[in-house]
Amino acid sequence: MGCGLNEEFKWSQPCYTFQGNNILLVTAFKDYACLAFFKGVLLKDPNELLTAPGENSQAVRQFRFDNVKDVVEMEDRIKSFVFEAIALEEAGVKVEFKKNKEPMPEELLNKFKELPALKSAFEALTPGRQRGYILHFSQAKQSSTRLSRIDRCVEKILKGEGFHDR
């Protein structure tokens, strides 16, 4: 493509960076593959070709395709997304994340009292990793399920790993 991106391998998949900053990730799923733009929410997309990967995604937007023909047909538009993403990175544009933190589940707060090391380890995580755990715990409807989810994640948190880290 000749756009000046460096190919690296992060999160077990090809990641393309510009001057050390993540620009896009190539990911394969069961029913589709995608190019995930880390600052995709900032890209101009009048034809709404980009989608959020999940309901809680604030920055990432994906260009999804289920066959090579789609990529070939959209090659020019894909390239324009890539070059626009690089320009945003060069300009130092940042995504404005919502300021309201997700509420901590009561069960997690109680576990912090029980295990102070867990609280310290949790607070040492990046805000995104904290949010990932909080969303995972909070999505459970029953307290017993929230507790079970928390218990299963204690070791990962103590190791400084995010919920989605492998």
Q: What is the C-alpha separation between 69 and 53, in angstroms, rounded?
A: 22
Cβ–Cβ contacts within 10 Å for residue 23, how many? Answer: 24
21, 138, 156: which is closest to 37 by C-alpha? 21
Question: How, if at all, do strands 13-18 and 33-37 pair?
Answer: unpaired
Whole-prediction pTM value?
A: 0.66
Per residue in 15-66, pLDDT tens? Answer: 999 999 999 999 999 999 999 999 999 999 998 999 998 877 889 999 999 9
Per residue in 130-157, pLDDT tens? Answer: 988 998 999 899 999 999 999 999 999 9
26, 20, 37: which is closest to 83 by C-alpha? 37
Is the Cβ–Cβ distance between 36 and 16 less than 8 Å?
Answer: no
